[in-house]
């Protein structure tokens, strides 16, 4: 897939307020500071399309980007640590869960995991919740340029082992690096495959 256009459409406080034109959507979510904005910029080949920040919790709404005027890339708030009140965090959780559970045009959610750190309970809990709700998702490992290949592979194996304590098998996985421009083409190919399957 070639990205001809990628434009910010708007930010919405709830699923009910999101666009209703029926375009298929692909959502991106992960623990705060997992590198989500950098990955979105990699996929779209638009530097600065999604604003990056060193401050966790920067994304606080459901952000829509129109891709090729055909489908939406949806940037969801990160879960986990954020410098905000418990009330605001709970509000974000309700907003995220409402979108994921009720959005009929959502084709797949990309759950981002940092390949450099040990398995995180909050990631495992979120992935298990997605499974309990039978919501389609894939796993995307980010920041894979920060360690040697064997170290990356060993840590990813630990994450998989932690997840397989709860799952019989895992969904499709992708290895990415915004710094090395790796994995973006594979993600776009997967998105195109899903879109074609929906259109059949």
Q: Percent of the chain, pLDDT > 90?
A: 74
Tell me the pTM.
0.91
pLDDT grade for 93, boundaries at 50, 70 and 90? confident
Output phi, psi for 17, to 5 deg: -90, -10
120 vs 21: CA distance, rounded Å: 37
The backbone torsions φ and ψ at residue 33, rounded to the nearest 5 degrees and listed phi first, read: 70, 30
Cα gap 181→55, rounded to integer Å? 23
- Segment 56-75 shows an average pLDDT of 85
> Is the CATH number of domain 6-199 3.40.50.300?
yes
Q: For the segment 109-122, what is each residue's pLDDT rounded down to a tens digit?
A: 999 999 999 999 99
Q: How confident is the model at residue 53 (pLDDT cuts 50, 70, 90)?
A: very low
How confident is the model at residue 51, as a pLDDT? 61
Instruction: Return the residue matching tokens 């082992």.
Output: 161
Residue 81 is predicted with a pLDDT of 55
Mean pLDDT of the chain: 89
Distant-in-sequence, close-in-space partners of 153: CB < 8 Å, separation ≥ 6:
none
Residue 187 pLDDT greater than 90, yes or no: yes
Q: What does the pLDDT average to over 6-13?
A: 93
Provide mean pLDDT across the span 36-62.
74
- If one counts every other C-beta atom within 10 angstroms of the C-beta of residue 66, the result is 18
Apex CA 48: angle with CA 47 and CA 54, to 5°? Answer: 120
Q: Which of 109, 94, 120 is nearest to 194 (CA)?
A: 109
Across the range 23-27, mean pLDDT stands at 97
For the segment 126-169, what is each residue's pLDDT rounded down to a tens digit? 999 999 999 999 999 999 998 898 999 999 999 999 999 999 99
CA 93 to chain centre: 15
pLDDT of residue 47: 78
Q: What is the pLDDT of residue 49?
A: 79
Between CA 160 and CA 22, with CA 99 as vertex, the angle to 5 degrees is 110
């Amino acid at each position: 897939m070639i990205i001809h256009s990628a434009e910010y459409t708007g930010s919405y406080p709830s699923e009910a307020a999101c666009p209703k034109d029926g375009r298929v959507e692909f959502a991106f979510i992960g623990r705060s500071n997992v590198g989500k904005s950098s990955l979105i910029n990699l996929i779209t080949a638009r530097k600065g399309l999604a604003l990056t920040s060193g401050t966790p919790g920067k994304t606080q709404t459901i952000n829509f980007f129109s891709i090729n005027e055909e489908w939406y890339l949806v940037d969801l708030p990160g879960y986990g640590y954020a410098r905000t009140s418990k009330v605001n965090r709970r509000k974000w959780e309700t907003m995220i869960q409402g979108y994921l559970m009720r959005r009929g045009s959502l084709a797949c959610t990309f759950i981002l995991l940092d390949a450099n750190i040990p398995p995180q309970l909050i990631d495992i809990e979120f992935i298990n919740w997605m499974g309990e709700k039978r919501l389609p998702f894939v796993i995307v490992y980010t920041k894979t340029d920060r360690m040697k290949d064997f170290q990356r592979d060993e840590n990813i194996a630990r994450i998989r082992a932690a997840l397989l304590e709860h799952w019989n098998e895992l969904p499709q996985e992708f290895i990415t690096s915004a710094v090395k421009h790796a994995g973006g083409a594979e993600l776009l190919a997967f998105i195109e495959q899903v879109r074609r399957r929906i259109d059949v």
